[in-house]
Structure 1
Amino acid sequence: MRLIRLLLATALTFSVVPAHADSKDVARLTQLLENSKTLSARFSQLSLDGSGTQLQETAGDMILQRPGQFYWHTDAPQEQLMVSDGKKVSLWDPDLQQVTIKNLDQRLTQTPALLLSGDVSKIGQSFDITAKEAGGVIDFVLKPKTKDSLFDSLRLSFRNGLINDMQLIDSVGQRTNILFTGVKANETVAANKFQFQVPKGADVIQE
């Protein structure tokens, strides 16, 4: 649930310490991301506070498609669904029978899901990026160049060319770790997967 809230939340403000990016690291990350026009996977998510105490653990399924379309479903008992058609994002909370709809913020620093599904051709303009490789695993650490970002740092890890896991750290040291399993790239996705139909009787909040 926290990841969905994070993806949809208002940006936090904090100080960013810039890193020195290597243009080769930027180019490599861009290529890895752009190689996957669609992605589907099972995910497990763990949220920890600044001291390392577990706050929440959830799991679910995600499907992504460029440009900017995604389907992110968290399993019960904390079920939620976030769907983007590339222009609007809908967050459905079945427990509250409520859907929140807002414009998709295209800035990569505002919506981490866009790093996997959006236009990353100019990712080096938004982040300082450094990489470390060991065997078939390559880790990229991204630090936003602006202060109006949702996260202080983001790590993306790829195994054999596919996304394996990611970690977001916010301004107070809270961490969100997401592990992807059963990752499949460039498979055909039905167009209606990214179209959310408001359930009958649901409360609708437009932001």
Structure 2
Amino acid sequence: MRLIRMLLLATLACGAVSAHADDEAAVKRLTGLLDQAQTISGRFSQLTLDGSGTQLQETAGQMALKRPGLFRWHTDAPQEQLLVSNGQKVWLYDPDLMQVTIQALDQRLTNTPALLLSGDVSKIRENFDITFKEGGDVVDFILKPKAKDSLFDSLRLSFRKGVINDMQLIDSIGQRTNILFLGVKLNQPLEAGLFDFEVPEGADVIQE
């Protein structure tokens, strides 16, 4: 579950397309879109490809995010895993191994991509160089980490009609992780218990 590990540590429409290299304009546009969603919930479909385009893994699941810094990412069986953050701690639970990894949430956006959708949007400018392009109802943002120790080289966020549609991460060896968000709901009430985790009895616990 490489994406889950990255989250833990870290479509263009038809018609004319315009590209913008103005970082200030890109930051303003992106933060505006992110800021309008205090909660996000829905399903996701994830596909991981190697540098040559060969499929490595395909999974799906449910996700829920709430500002600031709360998220729940549940990957369906047969490769089930659960990632939960309460804004301070992160739990990664693997039910097949009966193992829970617990660590402090890394607040750096370059190491925790989930925080781009649930964290402090005011930190985006200090973490990334950003460009965007748009066509029709779709806006694509390309984020290049400023830090040299980032877990990815490039991150694309795509919005359709103002709602997050998909995300792509590319690492230093060209491996791509594509995430398509489905049935997305914005600003719906989410139960507080979604963002807390109780270690199952008998599970091995790893503190990092």
TM-score by length of 1: 0.94
Partner of 2:4: 4
AA aligned to 1:72 is W
Is residue 165–residue 177 contact of structure 1 (8 Å, CA) maintained in 2?
A: yes
Q: Equivalents in 2 of 1:148, 1:66: separation in Å?
A: 25
The CA deviation string for residues 75-100 of structure 1, in whole angstroms up to 9 with x for no partner, is 00000000000000000000000000
Q: Distance in 1 between matches of 2:31 and 2:66?
A: 16
Alignment of 1:191-202 (within 5 A): 191-202=192-203
Find the counterpart in structure 2 of residue 74 from structure 1.
75
Q: Distance in 2 between matches of 1:56 and 1:203?
A: 26
- Divergent runs of 4+, >4 A: none
Residue of structure 1 equivalent to 2:47: 46
Q: Which runs of 5+ in 2 are unaligned?
A: 11-20
**1:1-207 correspondence to structure 2 within 5 Å:** 1-9=1-9, 21-207=22-208
Q: Is the 8 A contact 2:99 2:203 kept in 1?
A: yes
Q: Which amino acid aligns with 1:188?
A: P
Letter of the aligned partner of 2:69 in structure 1? G
Cα distance in 1 between the residues matched to 2:22 and 2:34: 17
Distance 1:187 1:158, change over 3 A: same
Contact preservation (8 Å) 2:23, 2:130: yes
Instruction: State the Cα deviation string for residues 130-172 of structure 1 (Å, max 9, x = none).
Output: 0000011000000001101110000000001110000000000
Q: Is the 8 A contact 1:21 1:128 kept in 2?
A: no
Which blocks of at least 5 consecutive residues in structure 1 are unaligned?
A: 12-19
**Any idea what SS the aligned residue of 1:122 has?**
helix
Aligned-residue offset at 1:8: 2.2
Q: In the alignment, which residue of structure 1 is the partner of 2:18?
A: none
* CA offsets 1:86-139 (integer angstroms, 9 cap, x no match): 000000000000000000000111100000000011311110000000011000
Structure 2: distance between partners of 1:48 and 1:25: 28
SS at match of 1:121: helix
| Rounded Cα–Cα distance in structure 2 between residues aligned with 1:22 and 1:43 | 29
Q: 1:21 Cα shift?
A: 4.4
Distance in 2 (alpha carbons) for counterparts of 1:2 and 1:58: 11
Could you state the TM-score of these two structures normalised by the residue count of structure 2?
0.93
Number of residue pairs aligned between Structure 1 and Structure 2: 199
Instruction: Name the SS of the counterpart of 1:33 in structure 2.
Output: helix
Distance, in Å, in 2 between the alignment partners of 1:6 and 1:123 is 18
Distance 1:21 1:130 in 2: 7
Partners of 1:129 and 1:143 within 8 A in 2: yes
User: What RMSD, in angstroms, separates the aligned Cα atoms of the two structures?
Assistant: 1.2
Give the % identical residues. Answer: 73
